[in-house]
Structure 1
């Protein structure tokens, strides 16, 4: 599950190496979009947790099986019932992905950015500490308002 959320995060902060100019207005839009995406991610995580539990697996058990499935060096013993539950949960989560990506893109657009621009700003933030500081300051000011 963490891998899924990580994949979503990577999707929305894909690295591009072009130097990007970011206006204060765009940075503010990014901040708002980022917060909205984070809130949506939390809701989606809870849905996935509920789905996994409905399949009869505890989250820690699901994660152990997940980690073993992507890391051949990590071994985990699972019963047939656990594996069936795991596979059903993974299948349901995978079926959710296109809709989730659409919703994330829509959230970004509702905050005044295109998906490409959101990704450009995310990439610029990864390599520009001054921009990171500016974003952090902007988000802190917004928190103290609310």
Structure 2
């Protein structure tokens, strides 16, 4: 009797995971994979641009990040005041790169027939579903 209950529970879990996997169509997963790959490229490009802006100003990346992270907290990093000045001078350029990235990401969503909400929903489902993870890995390896 115990094995029958275990089998029923296992079948229920398998059926549930199959239902979850079916919520994301192959078409959606293909589009998600293409958008994901494009977003990785866009993000890498933006990260390089921002790193160049920061280093061009003669600022260390770690110092920049420490100051940036302290902006939303009570913590103040132990760095010279001149570094805070550099940070403030750099910020408008960094924000331009970030805004440009956001626009390019929005274009990538629509280019791949997705909305931001669709993309996030698919990403959540993929995180929770091993079958979708396997399918996504296969698609990504073929792109």
Q: Fold match, TM over 0.5?
A: yes
| Contact 2:53/2:90 (8 A) holds in 1 | yes
Within the candidate set 52, 55, 58, 2:54 is matched to 52
* TM-score normalised by length of structure 1: 0.72
Query: TM-score, normalized by length of structure 2?
Result: 0.73
Where is the helix percentage greater, Structure 1 or Structure 2?
A: 2
- Structure 2 distance, partners of 1:64, 1:114, is 33
User: Which residue of the partner structure matches residue 67 of structure 1?
Assistant: 69
Could you list the runs of 5+ residues in structure 2 that have no partner in the other structure?
1-19
Q: Deviations over 1:91-140 (max 9, x none)?
A: 33234333321110101221232333222211211222221221112222
- Partner-residue secondary structure (3-state), 2:31: helix
Q: Match for residue 4 of structure 1? A: none
Q: How far apart are 1:70 and its partner, in Å? A: 4.0
Name 1:79's counterpart in structure 2: 80
- 1:71 deviates by 4.6
1:35 pairs, out of 34, 37, 44, with: 37
Deviation at 1:72, TM superposition (A): 3.4
CA distance in 2 between partners of 1:70 and 1:83 (Å): 14
Residues 1:24 and 1:46: Cα distance change in structure 2 (over 3 Å): same
State how 1:1-146 maps to structure 2 within 5 Å: 21-73=23-75, 75-140=76-141, 142=142
**Which whole-Å deviations, capped at 9, do the CAs of 1:10-33 have from their partners, x for residues lacking one?**
xxxxxxxxx681111110111011
How many residue pairs align between the two structures?
A: 123
Larger Rg: 2
Query: Which sits farther off after the overlay, 91-100 or 33-42?
Result: 91-100
